[in-house]
Structure 1
């Protein structure tokens, strides 16, 4: 049973509020403009699209006087005549004649002053790895088969999110099969390299070192774009008459854990962490005639307030000499931080190396996992794709939660 403990209805419509108490004696405050704005009835929230129809800023009775709503008498008195009924529901009868009904569950989920229930996690917890733990993890995850892709797709999605990578085995050695796996995971992102699944050898068809037989150091792809590809997928179709070309990957989430630990103990490492998480770098792609890409707004590591990795941007090959100004740190500290980061991601304690092989697809989180390629000889043909991150996450949420659970978190 709900109880109404307090209501303040006069004054600015932005300050009017009520205080609700639940059976458990939990209390929370709701601004009335928030409740009116978020009415859940079909006249205010489209039943099919789940989009808001009500326009609290335009045609719902709060009149404006110039640009200063607080001086408008009608606005100040908009909530004065609001009436409430409480019980199993909170019923609000508004000035313009509309009635809103809110369940206890809705009020708990959407409480904010204070929040009474933590937001439900629609995604799993992430788990980091290093060289020591990778092999056991690889064996655990390495049971996804192409011919079972529909059934194992939820697991593949979850493995990519939790660990940053997944393998799919017994894949037909073709562009068509690679495309099928790609589209099961997300939407293929077109770029200037290719509009769909890309397919290349060391022929410099595109002016990028990926299209050579040279070694490529640890990197993420697309740092020169505002939004680097969310996921990347590799399928080696052929490597004949030569050797080399091994792939290396490293979990930057694990490296960040190391950085945070070192920063807690040493002032110079605290500075390193600050540089890596706050100092923007500039990256470019200028090999192709008629196109020049540059991005200089982001640091190497974008992190949450809890210092968890949100995105890594690192590619020494594409790093521009121009430092975004004003530089937040002495140049020597910037280079020290970059040297330290580069040393960690190339430390055998953290990275793993293996050969890609025809019939096995590797898909990984391009915002989290750095990859590298050793130099090679012979003929090597690789295909793959860039995949959109938002669509991957949307499919993962739906694979892990029923629709009602997802809608209750909106």
Structure 2
């Protein structure tokens, strides 16, 4: 362990000198690093840490540092759970000494407990650094800028690679563009299930796990089972947490029509915010009701059209479905006109041809969409059309993505 030529004494506010030989060794280590030297400095109620590979220094509360000790007594590495009781931590806690090492920072607390913090751990897990290092992975698109096929497509063979490269590409495509295709999948429901289960568990809803939808077969009382045109919408807006991923596999195309419509909700939200910032704020704060009813089923929820990440403020969810709107009991009389004005403005942007991308799904190609971002619809059609599909839950999908090494906000 390499120590800086001094230590801070929180109790006496003095510097404790270290041996000249140690000072010399630290000097040699610091001079070998690119840019400025690594340092950790006491600045009152927090520690300021700097590293040559960081774009700026970060300040970290001593309360945070004591709570995040990763020694075997404070953290159970077998279960990845904390063991330290924060009620035993005084609110004005300060370390008795601070030591910089080549790997990180070592703090000794007044009770003699020693905590070590790796630089990488500090940069990846503190507020200031996360705000700086995070770059949104999402790339909004319109009909004219729809991503190239190669960027958003993996084959069944790719999905079966042991190095998981195909799976990582699929996750990356969904995070960046909101969708991905898997090609060369046998056109049947069980083959579709098999490839989807390579991603994560399939979510069971009142539709079941895997479903197979045939035109005019009203197994459920939903417009999707008809041959009618369906405008752009997101699914399961009536769930408190809408399904995250929507999966479609067209096993038998219609003889005429039935093309699928895709709209990027995040791109629409950006356009809406630029044109009607008051409306954007209104639909980000005013909850509206959605519901689904059939025999033995009644789902209902209240939520906003637009939701944001609680820390970064970036848009995180777009919930829009004109078909599943419940009676508007959540908007007071004085806000009714404002609601319809803004909601209609948003609807017009969604329906503008420049935001639409139409495609014909073919047997053998599975489409996965981020239902928290993309809206989808369908043209009217004639003849028999068979569509297989399922949903994936947010919890399972994001867990699998993190395990694959994908950065999520």
TM-score of the superposed pair, with normalisation by structure 1? 0.79
CA distance in 2, matches of 1:381, 1:227: 28
User: CA distance change for structure 1 residues 55 and 171 in 2, over 3 Å: closer, same or farther?
Assistant: same
Q: CA deviation at 1:208?
A: 1.4
Aligned positions of 1:121-270 closer than 5 A: 121=134, 125-134=137-146, 137-141=147-151, 143-151=153-161, 152-194=166-208, 196-201=209-214, 202-239=216-253, 242-262=255-275, 269-270=276-277
Deviations 1:18-74 (A, max 9, x none): 5445576976654443322211111211123221111223xx4x5xxxxxxxxxxxx
CA contact (8 A) 1:282 1:322 kept: yes
Q: CA deviation at 1:140?
A: 2.9
> In structure 2, what is the equivalent of residue 388 of structure 1?
393
Q: CA deviation at 1:239?
A: 3.3
User: CA distance change for structure 1 residues 234 and 29 in 2, over 3 Å: closer, same or farther?
Assistant: closer
CA distance in 2, matches of 1:6, 1:317: 66
> In structure 1, what is the equivalent of residue 330 of structure 2?
324
CA distance in 2, matches of 1:373, 1:129: 19
Q: CA deviation at 1:107?
A: 4.3
Where in structure 2 are there 5+ consecutive unaligned residues?
A: 14-43
> In structure 2, what is the equivalent of residue 70 of structure 1?
none
CA distance in 2, matches of 1:341, 1:370: 13
User: CA distance change for structure 1 residues 103 and 377 in 2, over 3 Å: closer, same or farther?
Assistant: closer
> In structure 1, what is the equivalent of residue 117 of structure 2?
102
Where in structure 1 are there 5+ consecutive unaligned residues?
A: 11-15, 63-74, 263-268
Q: CA deviation at 1:132?
A: 1.0
Aligned positions of 1:3-152 closer than 5 A: 7=10, 17-20=45-48, 22=50, 29-57=59-87, 60=88, 79=93, 83-88=96-101, 90-94=105-109, 96-110=111-125, 115=128, 118=131, 120-121=133-134, 125-134=137-146, 137-141=147-151, 143-151=153-161, 152=166
CA distance in 2, matches of 1:369, 1:347: 15
> In structure 2, what is the equivalent of residue 357 of structure 1?
362
CA distance in 1, matches of 2:167, 2:79: 26
Deviations 1:256-307 (A, max 9, x none): 2212222xxxxxx232222222221110001x212211111x2111134766
CA contact (8 A) 1:250 1:370 kept: yes
Q: CA deviation at 1:120?
A: 4.4
User: CA distance change for structure 1 residues 93 and 120 in 2, over 3 Å: closer, same or farther?
Assistant: same
CA contact (8 A) 1:5 1:20 kept: no
User: Is 1:375 matched with 2:388?
Assistant: no
CA contact (8 A) 1:17 1:32 kept: yes
Deviations 1:148-201 (A, max 9, x none): 21332211111111001111111101112111221222321110111x111121
CA distance in 1, matches of 2:126, 2:358: 48
Deviations 1:388-408 (A, max 9, x none): 22332233233336xxxx9xx
User: Is 1:313 matched with 2:319?
Assistant: yes
CA distance in 2, matches of 1:244, 1:9: 80
CA distance in 2, matches of 1:9, 1:346: 68
The partner residue of 1:284 within 278, 291, 296 is: 291
CA distance in 2, matches of 1:116, 1:161: 22
Q: CA deviation at 1:337?
A: 1.2
The SS at the match of 1:100 is strand
Q: CA RMSD in A?
A: 3.1
The SS at the match of 2:357 is strand
CA contact (8 A) 1:186 1:387 kept: yes
The SS at the match of 1:173 is coil
The partner residue of 1:346 within 346, 351, 361 is: 351
CA distance in 1, matches of 2:335, 2:136: 40
